[in-house]
Structure 1
Amino acid sequence: MAAERIAVIVKEIKYWKENRLLPETYCDYLLALYTNGEAFSEEADNNIKIRQWTVLDVTHLILSLLMIPFSLLVLYFTEFASVLQLGILLLFFSYLVWIMNYFRKIGHPYLHVPLIASLLVLLLFTTFISKLILDSNMLQITVLISNFIYWFIVSKQRKIKYLQIISILAIIFTLLYTGFLYL
């Protein structure tokens, strides 16, 4: 009777671990406790998991990539009211942030795709707002440089080398353009 009871408990703990109802370290501890360390060694071998691609993952990746041309389409090739254009861009941006958090949660290897797309949509959003508020070149340049500084901060946080390089080059290019603009 005790062996059946322990088997049921071990099965429950494995269920909790698979569905993340308890932290993994707690589940490992409980498994080691109830199985005297035998099941724990089996779990250590199976700890490396290969992530399978799903249709949902591919769909989210494709939609993330399509948000950039859709944003350009909404801004430059439609005659919607400015408020509606901003609302659509905000909707695109929030979708990309949601996808980014979803990919981070499941440990998706292509987390960079929605991150880069969201940064580009944010750049379009902020430059469009600044152009609506005040049609000034200095405001546009300030918004561009602040966006690129934000890109650099995000790239430092997430340790993304290519985004660091792109943000530095974008800042340099913007400053050079500003210098040539006001000569």
Structure 2
Amino acid sequence: MNLEKRETIIKEIQYWRRSKLLPEQYCDFLTNLYNDEDKIKDSNPVSLQNLQQGSIKIWLFGFGIISLIFMISLYFSVFPWPLQIATALCVLVVCYGYSAIYRDRNQTISLLLAGVGSVLTMGFGLWMIALHGLDPDFWRPVLIAGCGLLWSVLGFTLRIGLLHYCGIAFWALLYAGFSGQMRPEASMLELELLWLPLCVLMVWLSWLLYHKVSGVSGVYLGVGVSLWLMPEVDALWLRQGFPDWVSLLLIVKIAAGLALLFIFRKKWITWVAS
């Protein structure tokens, strides 16, 4: 069997493993059957093996990327604002685009590029707000909403759970700020009514998506678990004047949440593993 065909088969086996199409032991058996590390070419262009071989293309590519990063860092502030927006969009498209390309080839590189793109999204936004003297009380929530929407969509599309979770968490942060401005004197009961319906909604979405879409139900379950504690977090860290018994209530809810997770462990572990 030629090396190219062998590589194709091994990539297909890795896809079966990630998609749970075959049990782990069958995937291990097939991988050991076809895998020959001495003959298969390393598909990662920035691996230590390829760098050691002294490929001129790889070193020139690295030089170009580093030079571009320094040029953007040094001259971004003097660019006119249309060029600033275009530069930021180009960098983000490259990061997220290559993250999508490497999603099935190399998950580590894909996650790294998605993380870099996400940090740059927030960084470019805050930088432009400071450079142009924009009103932070208006533009920072807009930036948070935009980042949350972008990360949620990309996390869902690329099946990057942490990115998807962070996107929804940013929207929850925006919701907390808005509710704090609208009802700064809200009671503990009002805070429970603000957050617990969202918790139930996210857990229900987790159950629903487990039967409809693979790879995302664990994210919504994680969001639902986080929202279960948000009324007390909102009261203790985002507001003023709540009594000490709220801390005790937080501990009680953590214990109750762990008990519910233990009781229904056979169901939610299946959702997370899907």
TM-score, normalised via structure 1 length = 0.50
Tell me which of the two structures has the higher relative contact order, counting C-alpha pairs closer than 8 angstroms and 6 or more residues apart: 1
